[in-house]
Amino acid sequence: MDRFDKDSNVIWWQSEELAIPYRSPVDGRVHRYFPDFLVYLRDGSGKSKTVLIEVKPAKQTQPPTLKEGQNPRSRRYVSEVFTWGVNSSKWKAAREYCLDRGYEFMIMTEKELGLTF
């Protein structure tokens, strides 16, 4: 968030204040998704744009893979499948929301943020 405050191209930003409805593949019910950031900024050409940003670990941005010898019913694998399914549904709803409004949707991971662990 400090990054937004210090960037002269950022006009305003907010965190987790926007609710986007999505249907969960886990329970079939409609839930509310609160993306991490909504940022209104000037791009490189001076035009203003709105960007919706979700921050996730890189591992959660790819579908889970079953490792050799891993039981597909293991608690860990099932949890990864559920997480992927819910995240995918949230991001689909966010992309549609952004498309309707002329916003850009972006998923950022530790790689884009320059973080190493």
Cα distance between residue 50 and residue 43, in whole Å:
10
Taking residues 88-102, report their average pLDDT. 98
Q: What is the pLDDT of residue 80?
A: 94
Residue boundaries of the structural domains of the chain: 2-108
- The tens digit of pLDDT for each residue in 32-67 reads 999 999 999 998 899 999 999 999 999 999 999 998
Could you give the 3-state DSSP secondary structure of residue 16?
coil
| pTM score, whole prediction | 0.88
